[in-house]
Each structure stands twice: as structure tokens, then as C-alpha cells.
Amino acid sequence: MEFCARSSNGNRTKPTQMDIWSYGTQISTQSISWASNNNIQCFSHTFNPRVFYRDVSISVRLHFANLADQITLYRAEVIIANDH
């Protein structure tokens, strides 16, 4: 699982947590350490050992310092490893 985003005010407005879900059940949660800048930043989670889930989704908790700041999502995806 991976997502990439950019904040217009990386010091104060940022993603704080990423959760992964399967059929509405939370299967992973992790805090996000956001660098205090306005660059595009990416965060990922790798299941180790590898597991198989159906109907996987991701949610990201966002903290906004004010009404003027913005967070732009650039990518959110599930990467499937092929082992053959």
C-alpha cells in the first residue's frame, strides 16, 4: 500500500495516520511522520510476511491547521507482488 501527497503548509497541515482495511475491518494502522516541508512525500506499508486480502482500501487521517491550507493527493495504490 502506498500513498503520496503534498501539503501547502507542511509544518502544520499534514497527514497523521494511515489505516488499511479489508471488507470494512481494519487490518493495519500506522502513524505518519511528515517532514516539515511542502514537497511531495510518499508513505507505504508492506505486509511481512506476505498475506492475501480481498477488497482492500486505505484511509488517511488529515490534520488541517486552518481553512486556507490544502493537501493534494498524488497517488494511492495497492502494489501486488507476483511470486512466480
Domain containing residue 25: 2-77
User: What Rg, from alpha-carbon coordinates, does the chain have?
Assistant: 14
Taking the alpha carbons at both ends of the chain, their separation in whole angstroms is 21
CA distance to 4, 19, 45, 59, 78, per residue, from 29 (Å):
17, 4, 9, 9, 15
For the purposes of burial, counting CB atoms within 10 Å of the CB of 57, is it exposed (0-12), middle (13-18) or buried (19 or more)? middle
83: in domain = no
21: in domain = yes
Please count the structural domains in the chain: 1
pTM > 0.85: yes or no: no
Tell me which residue has cell 481494519: 26
| Res 48: pLDDT | 82
pLDDT at 84 over 50: no
For 33-82, how does the pLDDT look when each residue is reduced to its tens digit (9 = 90+)?
Answer: 999 999 999 998 888 888 888 888 889 999 999 999 999 999 888 766 65
Cell numbers of 39, please?
514537497
